[in-house]
Amino acid sequence: MPPPLPLLASPSAGRPLRVTVVAVPLGIGAGERGELEAILSAAERDRAARLVEPVRRRFVAGRGRLRRVLGAWLGADPGRLVFEAGPEGKPFLAGPHAGRCHFNLTHCGDAALLALSPDAAVGIDLELTAPAHTPAWAEQMAGSILAPAERAAFLEHPAGLRPAALLAAWVVKEAVVKGTGAGIGAGVGHLIIAAPPPHASLVTGTLPQRVDLAPVAPPWHVCLLDGAVGALAALACPGSVCQLQVETYGAEDEWPGRSPTADR
């Protein structure tokens, strides 16, 4: 098996990392479901068959629409794309399209976000807010999510604001470990958010925007993504600045995205 893609691929000198975030709804009808199942690999169809509903439907929608988006970007047949996985399970493009696009997909329920970049590995995470996210929950979970250096600042928040602060730290750190491909097995308490993460809009149709990202140790950079109702989302990149474009996957139309390599 080929080795995973480099975790810290360098962008062109003097140019921000180019990143696109695509909102990918996972609610699909029977007709589109059949079309998406047809472009999955045999291994993906076998995996889907072992799942129960609605997890099976979400897997088919997520992996099938991922293939369609990547196919549109690369000018390739979605059904012929080849994926392999790193040591902790992060998928990457292999075969003739290896290295041409880095991507990461996150989902909660029927909502999903897909981050893509031609320049470097990316990570993205989405978490739904829930009634269970109480001040007591925040105090219980803080020790496993926050580094010791972060806990004093966390305790300065009024008790009622701590759940949101902790969930923000969680999505940021989860995005980082997903970006590196390290997985969460080793936890996230060793990651330190060195500055408050900036916010970028998830509202679709926005023009490309330059986003100065907050550092996280080890050296990745992050921002929170606003616009997901009832949820928190974060994007992580190895560069300190990104050129961010936000798109929405059209359930009925061909995804309108432009190839990120077209101007290279």
Residue 239 inside a domain? The answer is yes
CB atoms within 10 A of CB 86: 17
- Report if residue 151 sits inside a domain: yes
- Domain boundaries, position 27: 17-248
Residue 11: inside a domain, yes or no?
Answer: no
- For 47, the token pair is 């995996």
In the numeric block, the tokens 């990651």 are attached to 191
pLDDT in tens, 179-208: 988 877 767 888 888 888 888 877 654 445
Task: Supply angle C-alpha 74, 109, 154, rounded to 5.
Answer: 100
Nearest to 222 by CA among 245, 252, 244, 255: 244
Q: Is residue 6 part of a domain?
A: no
How far from 161 is each of 45, 95, 133, CA to CA, in Å? 43, 47, 11
Judge whether 183 lies within some domain.
yes
pLDDT digits (tens, 9 = 90+) for 45-84: 999 999 999 999 999 999 999 999 999 999 999 999 999 9
Residue 81 forms part of a structural domain:
yes
pLDDT of residue 17: 87
| Angstrom distance (rounded) from CA 188 to CA 39 | 35
What confidence tens digit (pLDDT) does each residue in 161-185 have?
Answer: 999 999 999 999 999 999 988 877 7
Domains identified in the chain, total number: 1
- Residue 147 · residue 189 · CB < 8 Å: yes
Tokens matching residue 80: 């012929």
Which pTM value belongs to this model?
A: 0.85
pLDDT in tens, 229-257: 688 999 999 888 888 888 888 733 443 34
**Residue 80's CB: how many other CB atoms inside 10 A?**
13
Residue 4 pLDDT more than 50?
A: no
Tens digit of pLDDT for each residue in 72-130?
A: 999 999 999 999 998 888 999 999 999 999 999 999 999 999 999 999 999 999 999 89
User: Which of 215, 256, 257 shows the shortest CA–CA distance to 238?
Assistant: 215
Alpha-carbon Rg for the chain, nearest whole angstrom, is 18
**CATH number of the domain within which 50 lies:** 3.90.470.20
Tell me: the pLDDT tens digits for 137-166?
999 999 999 988 888 889 999 999 999 999
pLDDT, residue 190, reads 84
* 7 located within any domain: no
Q: How far apart are CA 58 and CA 162, in angstroms?
A: 31
Burial of 138 (0-12, 13-18, 19+ CB in 10 A): buried
Residues in the chain: 264
CA dihedral 259, 65, 22, 183 (to 10 degrees): -110
Q: Treating both helix axes as pointing N-terminal to C-terminal, what angle do 148-155 and 162-180 enclose, rounded to 10 degrees?
A: 150
Residue type present at position 263: D
Classify residue 62: in a domain, yes or no: yes
